[in-house]
A and B are shown apart, each in its own frame.
Chain A
């Protein structure tokens, strides 16, 4: 904790929490950016080699290790432009692999990816159309949440209902999510009645395309 406290504002909270040991390691490296670059490049190369050389039964597993490493070795998402590219590559790589269609680990990678793009709902629609992860409650929960974030409450309601009808597992979890959703909907209506509303349109930023010839002041 003595090393976490001085840098607490540079640690992006993760939904699933952070491993304290890895966090301290990442923070130490951060104070030495030159060394950090070297260490990270080396570890990244190792992960990429592992994916490349993998010959076992579960080719997704080295990808998952790589993703976990990316998240835990960086204390904020901002420094890791590779992260979104990695998620993109991983999701694309297995999208036609029947073995992973119902694999929750694979679905989780998709959800992380959806979270990182401007409009996550497009990703979820794609998953449904391609029957990826459709047996999991998680898909409908994440999808509905994204819709709710965009203010599309009735669509979110339909997605949750659909998931329940399709008996996505675990059923109890989805049902609980639906109950919470309805509670929030009621609260929101109450709040909206208090304040007038006009939605400011959010603008999507340019994607993280690879910018090679970068220099300060280039118009983007």
Chain B
């Protein structure tokens, strides 16, 4: 190896012109005939004027119902800082603080205040809305009882910030920058019951399927993986889907069993649909901009995507034709997170412009989400 490095060093040092010839093949590569996609703007979306316009049909109110100030919302793609509970409480992480906003009364409560220098990096409501799981930059996973306003558990184990969380009854899965997914059984003292280890970089998306049989995980290693509930600990996911950028946006279809939608980051920009029963990609569409979040509507058979670098918009698509129903614009910086109201009508978007916007997108679900989620009783947390 010594010798070897020597040769390499030599070629690195003297490669440029000194002891070498520069050769090229006589015939040139073919001409490109390409219409350059010119824009004066600072983003990858160089083709937006050519995108299909929304189709005629249902009209969605193009302005938000409400805008709330959200100072200090961290502009970081990899975190998950917004969730809406079944009890109609919106939780949002603003740097070191976690706030609750009661959508019915408008009441605001500061639930968590982290010590100086420690930030909230993930949060997720338990199914019945009695507790919220909170991940932070001190690598902890905490569970807070919102009725009693107190932390009931603090779980350690990750060696980097906790970026994403997902509940499956009494099982809480946490994904971290340490590239590992931990399964915690919140009922027992020895909470760490398993580790899913196959990603090689930060986990930024984690979501259990509606019937609770599969866990989808997405990471900065450009992969989306699907795990079976029976795999408490594993290094081999059931499926590994390769993409071209980080995968944060992931949402299970509420009306077609085993269908998973994913959204890709800056270099990918696609929404892809996977059949997780056979592991095939069913379809995909290039959205021309970073996809940060996805929300399904069972009632309308539509999917909403939230976008980053480019127009900072929300787009509503008809599934499966993927025709555009509406573009919702107004955020002046990228949209980082979205959450759906428990009645399935309203999407809240949190953006790097430090505002929350509420969009009335869909009609109320006929079948309540409550019933769909199955088991609702909260596990006893100790």
Contact = CB atoms under 8 A, between A and B. Distances in A.
Given A33-B95, A187-B50, A200-B62, A13 B353 contact: no
A208 B351 CA distance: 14
B101 A33 contact: no
Interface string B30-58: 00000110111111100011101111100
B70 interface: yes
A195 B318 CA distance: 14
Interface in B175-231: 177, 201-202, 204, 220
A111 B63 CA distance: 27
B68 A8 contact: no
Contact of B248 (A9, A192, A195, A201): A9
A196 interface: yes
Nearest to B77: A9
Given A10-B78, A191-B50, A204-B330, A216 B95 contact: no
A202 interface: yes
B347 to A, nearest CB: 15
Interface string B72-84: 0011111000000
A142 interface: yes
A220 B74 CA distance: 19
Interface in A199-220: 199-206, 208, 211, 214-220
Contact of B71 (A195, A197, A199, A216): A216
A103 interface: no
A85 interface: no
Given A76-B352, A184-B35, A195-B53, A214 B42 contact: no
B290 A9 contact: yes
Interface stretch (B3-11, B254-262, B276-284, B331-339): B331-339
Contacts of B97: 216
Nearest to A220: B67
B265 A200 contact: no
B326 A15 contact: no
B232 interface: no
Given A203-B62, A208-B332, A8 B266 contact: yes
Interface string A136-155: 00000110011011010000
Nearest to B101: A217
Contact of B38 (A10, A34, A177): A177
Contact of A196 (B39, B55, B71, B332): B55
A188 B62 CA distance: 24
Nearest to B96: A33
A145 B40 contact: yes
Contacts, number: 163
Given A8-B220, A151-B49, A202-B329, A219 B55 contact: no
Contact of A10 (B77, B94, B331): B77
B310 to A, nearest CB: 10
A76 B75 contact: yes
Contacts of A145: 38-41
Contacts of B54: 198-200
Contacts of A188: 49-50
Contacts of B117: 34
Contacts of B41: 15, 115, 145
Contact of A180 (B38, B55, B355): B38
A203 B329 contact: yes
A84 to B, nearest CB: 9
A174 to B, nearest CB: 12
Interface in A15-69: 15, 33-34
Contacts of B246: 8-9
A201 B313 CA distance: 12
A125 interface: no
Contacts of A5: 201, 220
Nearest to A207: B332
A20 to B, nearest CB: 17
Contacts of A198: 53-56
A216 B330 CA distance: 19
A93 interface: no
Interface in B299-324: 308-309, 323
B78 A9 contact: yes
Nearest to B98: A216
Nearest to B50: A188
A13 B309 contact: yes
Contacts of A204: 330
Given A9-B78, A10-B75, A13-B309, A78 B42 contact: no
A74 to B, nearest CB: 9
B315 to A, nearest CB: 10
Given A6-B202, A9-B78, A195-B323, 8 more contacts: A8-B246, A12-B43, A13-B42, A145-B39, A200-B54, A202-B330, A215-B71, A216-B108
23 contacts: A8-B267, A15-B41, A15-B42, A33-B74, A34-B116, A78-B333, A111-B40, A145-B40, A151-B49, A177-B38, A180-B35, A184-B50, A195-B52, A198-B53, A198-B55, A203-B63, A208-B353, A211-B69, A211-B71, A214-B69, A215-B69, A216-B108, A219-B68
8 closest A-B pairs by CB: A78-B352, A78-B333, A9-B77, A218-B69, A214-B71, A197-B53, A220-B67, A217-B108
Interface of B: 35-36, 38-44, 48-50, 52-56, 62-63, 66-71, 74-78, 92, 94-95, 97, 99, 101, 106, 108, 110, 116-117, 119, 177, 201-202, 204, 220, 245-246, 248, 265-267, 290, 308-309, 323, 326-327, 329-334, 351-353, 355
